[in-house]
Amino acid sequence: MKKLILFCLFVFGSLSVCQSQEWMTSLEVAKSLAYVQDKLLFVVWEDVSFQEYPVLVKNDEGVVVVNDLFKNETINEVVWEHFVPVIVNEHNYEKLFNDIKEKRNQIYIDKFNDDTIKIMDVNGNIINTTIVYYDYLDIAKFIAKYALNTTFLKAELGNYRGQKDFNTTYRLAMKYIDFAILVKEDVRPEIVKLSNYYLKEAEDFISDDNLETYSQKIDLQKIKQLLVLGKSKKAFRQLKRIDMSKVDASNKALVAFLYFTSYVLLKDENRASEWRSKVSLVNLKKANLILKNKS
């Protein structure tokens, strides 16, 4: 990220405008490249690229506006360094819209439709759906926020891309929740929201044969989401509603982690100690990271 800061000082001191590396035009190829390079996608609709896209940066000398994001070589070099940029042809709109129209809320649909930059994961899910009001996008701040290396997710992303079923989808959702623990606070809620898309998708794979066990797994991950976001009181209230006699054996380790982490966040060390021995070393480290994020 230090290099990104240096870039900001350089580009907005020189404001060089010249021939830039062309963005990709195939979303599917861009997804594959993003997976290989452990990056997110930096996406705009084709119509947007036909007009100037002014962006803003604030530096020590004040505020500078670059007239066109697409034609500034230095900005594009940094975009390419941290993302896979892609211009999506308008002919793809109907298919892409049909894929989400019954699965996403109106805020997501509005973001999908608008002319702003969309940050997507390698499966095409939009991450930056939070509504932000500005005249010009602060491009340095924007890049710094979403320049996430996704190496941590590599195995689960690969398994999901290879075969979509309950296990691969659920494990990817779970990994995204863990990833949210590691990212910066300003992007954490959006990564948690992204994980929720996969939890909802996993629900579609649940059959009557494993309904209770798998539904319980998803409910427990939703409580974990609350802990990752620092909402320990709400998480604890939901935990207390669980009948421990009905917890599946495969879910007991997760329940122990949730109780332990809840008590730690609530600063109830006595009750936390009752669960500590049931929590793995890996999950103890996760609990400590969640606690550190809240402090």
Q: What is the DSSP string of 5-23?
A: HHHHHHHHHH------PPP
pLDDT recorded at residue 4: 55
Phi, psi of 62 (to 5 degrees): 130, -145
pLDDT higher than threshold 90 for residue 19: no
Distances (CA, A) of 181 to 8, 92, 204, 247: 28, 34, 26, 25
Band of the pLDDT at 9, cuts 50, 70, 90? very low
Q: Could you say which DSSP state residue 89 is in?
A: P
β-pairing, 83-88 vs 62-66, is unpaired
From the candidate CATH numbers 1.10.760, 2.60.40, 3.40.30, 3.90.550, the one assigned to the domain spanning 2-146: 3.40.30
Own/partner contacts of 192-200, CB < 8 Å, gap of 24 or more, are 192/225, 192/228, 192/229, 193/127, 193/129, 194/121, 194/125, 194/127, 195/221, 195/225, 196/222, 196/225, 197/103, 197/104, 197/125, 197/173, 198/169, 198/170, 198/172, 198/173, 199/170, 199/173, 200/103
Domain boundaries along the sequence of the chain: 2-146, 151-294
Phi, psi of 103 (to 5 degrees): -120, -10
Q: Which residues, other chains included, contact 125 with Cβ-Cβ below 8 Å and sequence gap of 6+?
A: 194, 197
For 199-247, write each residue's pLDDT tens digit: 999 999 998 888 989 999 999 999 999 999 999 999 999 999 999 999 9
- Of residues 67 and 11, the one with the higher pLDDT is 67
pLDDT higher than threshold 70 for residue 62: yes
